[in-house]
Amino acid sequence: MPSEKKTRRALLWLGFVLLILFLLSFSLGRYGVPPRQVVKILGTRFCELFAGRGALPRSWTKEMETVVINIRLPRIVMACLVGCALSAAGTAFQGVFHNPMASPDILGASSGAAFGAALAILLGASTRMITLSAFGFGLLTVGLVMLVAHRAPGARLINLILAGIILSSLFNAGTSYIKLVADPSNQLPQITYWLMGSLSGTRLPDVPLAFLPMGLGLVPLFLLRWQLNLLSLGENEAKALGVNTSRVRLVLLLSATLITAASVSFSGMIGWVGLVVPHLCRKLLGSDHRYLMPGSFLCGAAFLLLVDNVSRNLLAVEIPIGILTALIGAPFFLYLITRKEEKL
């Protein structure tokens, strides 16, 4: 277990790495923009928004500003938001269920969102309606899971997991049927590409729309992170320490579900982030959720931003980000579980 001083230093380093990666991401791409110009463009736009005038004389082209502000800025910010949300949700689910294999889709939010997006594409909906349909069905799925778990006899946490598996299977079957009846020349490729996950379609108006539900979910996870430590002691011990375990668990599950549904609705199906990143953070920061949760915020954002940079620059054709997270996450997780000296 790292000391508190080392843990705080590691958090500072994670924040520094994320900041450097954030700035460098603007210069990566087929249209090169020098880092110095990136800083000037962002600084001037910031001053125009909050001070009413630019900070520096313009020494960049209009094309550079368009690429930085309209194309790369929303995509970079969305990658950070989605990575932060998925890793935080994974940390919360693993803490609540006391299960290192728990991931953001354990309650079926991802499967429901995939069905909602596929249904909207089949009906010829607009991009915005596809996002809203995915978000709505993601929340609906988890609502059904909680209803089933509430009505079923037995342990509530076990019922939640079983209901999540059942409803995920049903919605996956629905998605498969939609792919079967979809137009193979137009709708089917769109559904398939959405299911592989991508941030290529992100635009500036999408950022505040995604930030609202993700912010509403991330704030409770951050504020209740110390109570996750108490929940890990067990039900009776946590109650003895004054924790309303049922209420805290419900708030954590709802918050994690909200940010998972929001992430999937804007980025498609991106797996492994919420499973691998929390374990990586435990190696760096220990199991204390007071530091593990903010560390997951930073590490998840940096991880997905790095993967997105690879996806849009590695080949001439962009690789769907969900493929890369699986290619990176699966071997890394295999390495973690095969280490003999430590347990997950």
- 10: in domain: no
- 59: in domain: no
Spatial distance between the Cα atoms of 329 and 122, rounded to a whole number of angstroms: 31
* Distance set, CA 219 to CA 189, 225, 281, 300, 332 (Å): 37, 10, 19, 16, 29
Burial class (CB in 10 A: 0-12, 13-18, 19+), 176: exposed
- 45: in domain: no
pLDDT tens readout for residues 201-222: 899 999 999 999 999 999 999 9
- 169: in domain: yes
* Distance set, CA 316 to CA 27, 313, 322 (Å): 17, 7, 18
First-to-last CA distance in the chain? Answer: 13
- 242: in domain: yes
Handedness of CA 322, 21, 221, 96 (dihedral sign): positive
Proportion of the chain above pLDDT 90, given as a percent? 59
Query: Residue 309 belongs to a domain with what CATH number?
Result: 1.10.3470.10
- 3: in domain: no
- 182: in domain: yes
Spatial distance between the Cα atoms of 43 and 51, rounded to a whole number of angstroms: 11
| Number of domains composing the chain | 1
- 300: in domain: yes
pLDDT tens readout for residues 218-275: 999 999 998 898 887 777 787 887 788 888 999 999 999 999 999 999 999 998 899 9
Is the pLDDT at 60 greater than 90, yes or no? no
Range of the domain at 310: 83-338
